[in-house]
Amino acid sequence: MIPRSDKSSEYIGRFAPSPTGPLHLGSIMAAYASYCDAMHNNGQWLVRIEDLDPPREQPGASLSIIKTLKKYGFQFDENIIFQSQNDRQSAYQEALEILEKKFAVYNCSCSRTELKGVEILEHPCRFQSKQPEIEFSVKLKATDEIICFEDMIQGQICKHLLNDCGDVVLKRKEGFYSYQLAVVVDDFYQGVTHVVRGIDLLDSTPWQIYLNELLGFPQLQYSHIPVFVNNQGQKLSKQTFAQTIENENPIETLLFVHNHLKQQPFIEKPKTLEQFWNHAIQHWSLNNVPKISAIKV
């Protein structure tokens, strides 16, 4: 059985960035929203580094992320989990073995080119019991069922797992475990109860709910905030060359995301981070967050 940490709280939230570069404006908005929601509900807020993809990681990015969060006044447990840790990798493998015993996954040696135009139920690897002799990935087998959940911002979301989501990779051909598997295992391990994150991850939620169900884990409460986009409508990210945030004046950046998420305005501009966070946490409201997918900046 996959062990769980001894966390005991009615509310445990988290911020889980990938170390592919420094934090940008969109990262800070996600951190701000999840932090305010956890603190407003007298909960805990954890930081987890999702370093699952070594080829895309930037040297020093993890340390940079942690330093920036501290510079901005976020308070979090110093015992930060890195997904590359041996114990976490072992936990992902154990979860995969549980899913294999439930016949919920299959090995796939096909390339994207070979699968182009192939209907999901006609996927040749889905029906093979023999392990391929060449490199293969391990995929979650989507089922013919509807996954529904109540998003605290966006309202009720329903997705047909097979038609809307499809199969998803849980372990890549290179041997790296995927985000979809690791996030579910680690949220359970850390006792996470609430997830506040960008709406760009909304489509991942049905897979994660299904994996929780298969693994016997508790279901989480999800809230998906809008994301910042550029003039071309692209989400601010490292891939779209989002500008690294300035650490010299964190209050200005925090006020920017605070105002764009339509939180209660300040009567006077805060002079210190303590003043900012006291107001932001006390007056935080998920109901005020715009029920939209994108905010142009």
pLDDT score of 165: 96
pLDDT score of 135: 86
Residue 55: strand, helix, or coil: helix
pLDDT score of 7: 65
pTM, two decimals, is 0.93
| Average pLDDT of the segment spanning 249-264 | 95
Residue 240 has pLDDT above 70, yes or no: no
Sign of CA dihedral 101, 89, 70, 295: negative
Where are the domains positioned within the chain?
12-296
Find out whether 244 and 24 touch, Cβ atoms under 8 Å: yes
Find out whether 7 and 45 touch, Cβ atoms under 8 Å: no
Please tell me the least confidently modeled range out of 108-112, 135-139, 287-291: 108-112
pLDDT score of 232: 73
Structure tokens at 253: 């950046």
More confident residue, 55 or 205: 205
pLDDT score of 239: 60
Residue 111 has pLDDT above 80, yes or no: no
Residue 236 has pLDDT above 80, yes or no: no
What's the half-sphere exposure (Cβ side, CA atoms, 13 Å) at 5? 17
DSSP-derived secondary structure for 124-176: GGGG--SPPSS--EEEE---S-EEEEEETTTEEEEEEIIIII--EEEE-TTSP
pLDDT score of 237: 65
pLDDT score of 112: 78
Can you count the helices (H) and strands (E) in the chain? 8, 12
- pLDDT single digits (tens) 12-38: 999 999 999 999 899 999 999 999 999
Q: Does domain 12-296 have CATH number 2.130.10.10?
A: no
Q: pLDDT band at residue 230, thresholds of 50, 70 and 90?
A: confident
pLDDT score of 242: 56
| Average pLDDT of the segment spanning 119-140 | 82
Burial classification of residue 259, based on how many CB atoms lie within 10 Å of its CB (0-12 exposed, 13-18 middle, 19 or more buried): exposed
